[in-house]
């Protein structure tokens, strides 16, 4: 069990968290990963209205000595992006589970959530 992760969220294997409300999933990056990276300096956000398939990259992140991508845990449509983090990526580090969310997806197949992990099943980051 990973004691550093909120128990009310689900997790993808690429250090991202998922909050599901009805058929909408909010996506972000977990705090232990933020702590390791220290400070994000650039975020490439998906386009609102963009169709995305499970496993496709929806966001790229950069720090001073690191860059990486987040893959979508769902197939669906990007319905909202967090423009605030584009201008100020450090918000992700400061509040990864709140103001630091990255995108919201309208789910096409809610069954895909069965592939996500609970906080108890996530290996230590």
Say if 124 falls within a structural domain: no
Secondary structure (3-state) at 59:
strand
121 is a domain residue: no
Contact of 9 with 19, CB cutoff 8 Å: yes
Its pTM surpasses 0.85: yes
Per-residue pLDDT in tens (0 to 9) along the chain, 125 residues: 456 799 999 999 888 999 999 999 999 999 999 998 889 999 999 999 999 999 999 999 999 888 999 999 999 999 999 999 999 999 999 999 999 999 999 999 999 999 999 998 887 55
- Which three-class secondary structure state does DSSP give residue 24? strand
**CATH number of the domain bearing residue 59:** 2.40.50.100
Is 120 within the bounds of a domain? no
108 burial (CB, 10 Å; 0-12 / 13-18 / 19+) is middle
Cα 80 from chain centroid?
Answer: 13
Domains contained in the chain, number: 1
Given a contact cutoff of 8 angstroms between Cβ atoms, the answer to whether 80 and 104 are in contact is yes
- The residue range of the domain holding 34 is 10-110
Residue 66: inside a domain, yes or no?
A: yes
If one counts every other C-beta atom within 10 angstroms of the C-beta of residue 8, the result is: 10
């Amino acid at each position: 069990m990973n004691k550093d992760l909120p128990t009310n969220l689900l997790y993808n294997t690429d250090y991202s968290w998922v909050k599901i409300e009805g058929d909408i999933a909010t996506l972000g990056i977990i705090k232990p990963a933020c702590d390791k990276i220290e400070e994000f300096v650039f975020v490439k956000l998906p386009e609102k209205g963009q169709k995305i398939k499970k496993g496709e990259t929806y966001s790229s992140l950069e720090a001073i000595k690191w860059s990486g991508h987040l893959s979508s845990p769902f197939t669906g449509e990007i319905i909202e992006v967090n423009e605030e983090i584009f201008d100020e990526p450090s918000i992700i580090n400061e509040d990864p589970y709140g103001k630091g969310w990255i995108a919201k997806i309208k789910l096409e197949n809610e069954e895909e959530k069965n592939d996500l992990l609970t906080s108890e099943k996530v290996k230590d980051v």
